[in-house]
Structure 1
Amino acid sequence: NMIFEVQDLAVASPATVSRCGMVYVEPQQLGWRPLRDSWIATLSTVLDDESRPHLLTLFEWLVDPCVVSAAAAPPPRGRSRADPYCTLLKDVVNKHLGLKFDNVFEPPQGSELERGDVAVLRNLLYCDFQVPAADPVKYDEVTDLPKLLSVVQDYLADYNAQNKSRMDLVLFLFAAEHICRISRIIKQPYGNALLVGVGGSGRQSLTRIATFMADYKLFTIEISKSYTVNEWRDDLKKVLRQAGGGAAPTVFLFSDTQLKVRV
């Protein structure tokens, strides 16, 4: 068993390298890519071959510039927080991809972007429901926002046709963005989210639509004056039997107003 330094291995023959029992490598020399590859290898059951290149592209595209940005001094006052990030992305896109930043991040509406405007990144969305009833389902970037909004509106019409409690909602781009986020979260194993907002902002309605679009079961609880911890435990048993024993993908939805006992 032989131990060699890194500089020796750089010029060593393959036979010499194969006899190495251990190689000491500094973390800075190792880099982040082995950690990424090790993590992605654990996702073999949930990450298909078609989605893997997308994930690798995002890592290669963003990690190094973000590390540089995190190590740099904070931006001076008066500058947008998005400005340094957009500057890094612009350099990566122009220099390494050979593309024009304004063309890559131009909103579908065709409006003019200003440097440092957070809208540059707002329209970077991914979802798997752009093509309804697609088989197999493809998780891909949203390149046509008006079409995405039209698809969501069609799902809302189907929801109202199949449920007695209609939801008469006026859907707009901001709502579609949140539906993309909620949909991504609930489709992850043990995915959960805390939706924060004022009353009437659509937290429950958008969750119901995202659940319907995913073809999941929605489980809610009914709170009354006689509702106690025993009823709560019974409801938990029901949702666990439905999701686990019944093998039915389920979303458990409840609001802060339904919390009677605070710990």
Structure 2
Amino acid sequence: YEFNIRHLAGVFSGLLMAKAQRFNTAEKTAFVWCHECERVYGDRLVSYAHLDQFYAIMMNQAKKAFGTFNTGRFYPAQPGEAAQDILIFSHFGDGIGEDPVYDKIENVHDLSVLLEAGLEDYNETNVQMDLVLFEDAMRHICKITRVINNPAGHALLVGVGGSGKQSLSKLASHICGFSTMSIQISATYGIGDLKTDLQSMYRKAGINQVGVAFLFT
């Protein structure tokens, strides 16, 4: 792994999404710090063994810096175990379609209700998408919306074909109020076609002032 100042800046960029009216306690500020470190560093790790090491480091550092707060409940007590509580922040906690406010999701049930509403809203205006929103899928949607809501945010989603990367990205984009655009590759698709497609996206985003998420597969 190669981490540098850009990744540290990513942590602070996430912290700056937290507004004073919602983060008015030291405890909650400590929680969002843990969350942003996990998103920036933890999400880039490629094995469970490395993730276990990361969690151990996070627990140790959080205990040193925020000893009075129970940050340990967000991390597995032993490798392979589940954490006692979820650590998820999102922009849509006030409801789908409301003004985005970065805040903590308190439990999986609340998150499920919000995302089911988002999926229903998506299906009303788009091709029907049949998604099973199990916990991992919901976590991934929150991660994608966090990236999309950052200025010029981008992410590389890695997984086997048919694992739902496109579907989750489309739903996340819709929740953020963005229009999802992609290119259709064919045997005759060339540089000229790519330029035309990119021009269309830039016109939509720059001239029409419409949020655009470019889904490239």
Q: Do both share a fold (TM > 0.5)?
A: yes
Confirm or deny: 8 A CA contact 2:178 2:212 kept in the other structure. yes
Aligned match for 1:251, one of 202, 205, 213: 213
What does 1:42-191 correspond to in 2, within 5 Å? 48-50=19-21, 57-58=29-30, 80-81=52-53, 82-90=55-63, 96-97=67-68, 99-100=69-70, 104-105=73-74, 114-116=77-79, 119-120=82-83, 123-133=86-96, 136-163=99-126, 165-191=127-153
Change in Cα spacing, 1:134 to 1:172, as seen in structure 2 (3 Å) is same
Secondary structure at 2:116's aligned position in 1? helix
How far 1:58 moved relative to its partner? 3.6
Q: CA deviation at 1:172?
A: 0.6
Pairwise CA distance, 1:53:
5.7
Give 1:176's aligned amino acid. Answer: M
Which entry has the higher C-alpha Rg, 1 or 2? 1
The whole-number CA distance in structure 2 between the counterparts of 1:178 and 1:211 is 12
**Could you tell me which amino acid in structure 2 is paired with residue 140 of structure 1?**
D
Aligned length: 188
Q: 1:232 aligns with which of 190, 194, 198?
A: 194
Question: Whole-Å Cα distance in 2 between the matches of residues 197 and 243 of structure 1?
Answer: 29
Structure-1 separation of matches of 2:97 and 2:196: 37
After TM superposition, give the deviation of residue 185 of structure 1 in Å: 0.5
% identical equivalent positions: 31
The aligned counterpart of 1:14 is none
Superposed CA RMSD: 3.5
Residue by residue over 1:37-66, the C-alpha shift from the partner in whole angstroms, topping out at 9 and shown as x without a partner, is xx78xx6xx77543676899349976xxxx
Whether the 8 Å CA contact 1:218–1:253 is kept in 2: the answer is yes
Quote the Cα distance in structure 2 between the aligned partners of 1:131 and 1:60.
17
In structure 1, runs of 5+ residues without a counterpart are 1-35, 63-76, 107-112, 256-263
C-alpha change, 1:160 and 1:135, in structure 2 (3 Å) is closer
- By relative contact order (CA 8 Å, sep 6+), the higher-ranking structure is 2
1:200 aligns with 2:172: no
- Between the aligned partners of 1:243 and 1:221, the Cα distance in structure 2 is 16
- Give the counterpart letter for 2:169 in structure 1: T
Query: Which residue of the other structure, out of 168, 173, 185, is the alignment partner of 1:211?
Result: 173
TM-score with structure 1 setting the length: 0.60
AA in 1 matched with 2:120: A
Take 1:61 and 1:248, find their aligned partners in 2: how far apart are those partners? Answer: 31
Other-structure match for 2:39: none
Asked if structure 1 preserves the Cα contact closer than 8 Å seen for 2:97 and 2:175, the reply is no
Flag the 1:51–1:236 CA change in 2: closer, same or farther, 3 A.
Answer: farther
Deviation at 1:228, TM superposition (A): 1.1
Work out the CA distance in 2 between the residues paired with 1:85 and 1:118.
Answer: 16
Instruction: Tell me which residue corresponds to 2:38.
Output: none
Q: 1-side partners of 2:23 and 2:156: how far apart?
A: 28
How far apart are residue 153 of structure 1 and its match? 1.4
1:161-217 Cα deviation digits (max 9, x unpaired) = 221x21111111101111111001111111111111110111110000001111111
